[in-house]
Amino acid sequence: MKSKRIVITGGPGTGKSSIMQQLEAEGACCFHEISRQVTLDARKNGVEQLFLTDPIYFSQKLLEGRIRQFKEAENGTKPLVYFDRGIPDVKAYLDFSKTPCPPIFIEAGRQYRYDLVFMLPLWEEIYVCDNERYESYSQAGEIHHALVTHYIELGYNLIEIPPGSVANRAYFIINYLKPF
């Protein structure tokens, strides 16, 4: 059985990780965001914000990790597999930072295709900056725009998850996917 690959994405601080934790608590197979780990690993080597210092290297590490997650999902035993961010997010962040994008990032988005993409809208009431999330709310909006633009360029139809409690947002996804 080939699992359906489902991406949950959106700008920073929109609730992706919380929804993923809720889905996992419901028994779903989830691949979590890896950018925080890449950032923490860089800090151990003395680089405070790797994306700001070397966006291409940071993005390459993300791309490698997300491709690894994508391939690991092929061995899944559940009909649905969820990803906290997808491969196209890497190029969208490079676009946001106005960093010229090497072709490998564009090609990866075309080669590794997801079955469905859920987009979380900006939601100022839940937005929080922390040690790994340094973007302002305004910048989060720019990132959101870059994500929407790139996913649409790749031919995805985005399903927007409405604001609400974490449980309600997770159940929105689950209910949407029932006929899937």
Provide the pLDDT confidence category of residue 71 given band limits of 50, 70 and 90: very high
Number of domains in the chain: 1
Give backbone dihedrals phi and psi of 80, rounded to 5 degrees, phi first. -125, 140
Residue 41 counted as domain residue: yes
28 vs 124, more confident: 28
Provide the pLDDT confidence category of residue 106 given band limits of 50, 70 and 90: very high
Q: How many helices (H) and strands (E) does the chain have?
A: 8, 5
pLDDT, residue 66, reads 95
Residue 180 counted as domain residue: no
Residue 179 counted as domain residue: no
The β-bridge partners of 83 are 7, 31
2 vs 29, more confident: 29
Handedness of CA 22, 137, 69, 148 (dihedral sign): positive
Instruction: Work out the mean pLDDT of the chain and round it to a whole number.
Output: 88
The whole domain housing 93 covers: 4-174
Residue 112 counted as domain residue: yes
Residue 128 counted as domain residue: yes
pLDDT, residue 52, reads 63
Residue 68 counted as domain residue: yes
pLDDT, residue 44, reads 75
Query: CA 136 to CA 106: how far, in whole Å?
Result: 26
pTM, two decimal places = 0.90
